[in-house]
Chain A
Amino acid sequence: MIDALLEPFTEFAFMRRALVGSLAISMTAPPIGVFLMLRRMSLMGDAMGHAILPGAAIGYLLAGLSLFAMSLGGFAAGLAVALAAGLVARSRVIREDASLAGFYLLSLALGVFLVSVHGTNVDLLHVLFGSVLALDDAALLLVAGIATVSLLTLAALYRPLVLECFDPHFLRSVSRWSSPTHLIFLVLVVLNLVAGFQALGTLMAVGIMLLPAVSSRFWADSAGAMIAVAIVAAFVSSVAGLLISYHYSVPTGPTVILACGAFYLFSMFAGRRGGALWGLMPRKHLEA
């Protein structure tokens, strides 16, 4: 039993790299997801995942299977879409979700157009769906670097970010942090999706950002506790996904996200805050 859990990591360097990469992503993407959810922007992560895809494709078409070019392309495309959507929303004619939908669909169509014109390519598909078992040094450094920057920024930005979610009006009335906080947060979202797509692909990266975050609300009553739960859930799911995919020879990225999804279903059932199980076993109410 212990062997089955440890042996893949002691035997194979690529499994150890995958473990380190997963840990780094699990430390940073879920907290971002918690704030996305608390800002009621959960679906924005998905939209941004799509927005990044064409950027990575352009990077690939220009420079081949280059980590740097594809990351930069993805980052630029994601940031352009997020900022454009944010700026249009500030004009108050349409809301941010509507303007984001507009821009990400445009970006996605452009990406599909580019890929189609230049012919499909197995390598490219491989990259779009991630390759956690093929993380090289450069990719690991990139993921770890993004994780470090994100965590430090989140720590520095924590209070304004909480207020921007909870009572943006108040934040605007007491300080000038509101707009910078929003913009920096968007940059963090894009950065983390870029980190995630190295390992999980652009589409699966959204899963590790949001599934643990959404699950955490069933267990915790404060933003800090939710972040802690989400990080632990993401890491445990990553390890479980890696082991299952190793022992049963199934694709790694989707397995990791399916493990996150299993935790989500479990949380809905057994979560201490509003899980279905507790509704089935009502406890007597208190006196006051």
Chain B
Amino acid sequence: MADALLEVRRLVKSFGGLIATNRVDLEVLDGETHAIIGPNGAGKTTLIAQFAGDLHPDQGTITFAGRDVTALAAPARSHLGIARSFQITSVFREFTALDNVALAVQAHAGSSFAFWRPARADRALRDPARAMLESVGLGARGDVVAANLAHGEQRQLEIAMALATRPRLLLLDEPVAGMGLDESQQMIRFLGSLKGRHTMVLVEHDMDAVFTLADRISVMLYGRIIATGAPEAIRANEEVRRAYLGDERAL
């Protein structure tokens, strides 16, 4: 068994009376694509937010690459190699696509206490950013202001920004949500091309995406993980069928 890149132990997070994360144990192995599925409100996004450092758990520990990161804030985790996309697309809307990615490159290119040289003429930022846009298929869209990109393109841009931080772990919160069929097929193909090169945690409702991409799947229900396993095992799991997938869905 490969080493766990992300190891979560007894994680608890509650909001008032609602226990959004209920003693969650989870291991994400180095190199795997690990999908987390579950009905709306199961606590998937809350879990991702705790992995990324946007939320801090009430109890439990999060270990990344052998290091306890439970108390670290999001920027520090980014520097250790955790990157994320958000459920609701989160880009710099006023900036061009290239500016967006260049800023992500800049975040990992030393201190930004540089007050004089124009950042937009800085090839150390622009060249890698352009290459990254190219690789997600937005090469021709670099000069377009992010707000004017199509929804699917904004999702691609967000992933380009995440990749520009050269992460070891990519947290993807519903990357194909709101996409048309063509767009989502394209995104699934792209994410497939990242498999192996990046460890990924994928929260997704689109079962096509999940079963195409995931090496292992964890099923969440009411803040708990009720099953973890290979796709075939999850497909066959009676408890999962009853709780979530539903009999009508052709698996």
Are A and B co-members of a single complex? no
Q: Which residues of B contact A (CB under 8 A)?
A: none
Residues of A within 8 A of B (CB): none
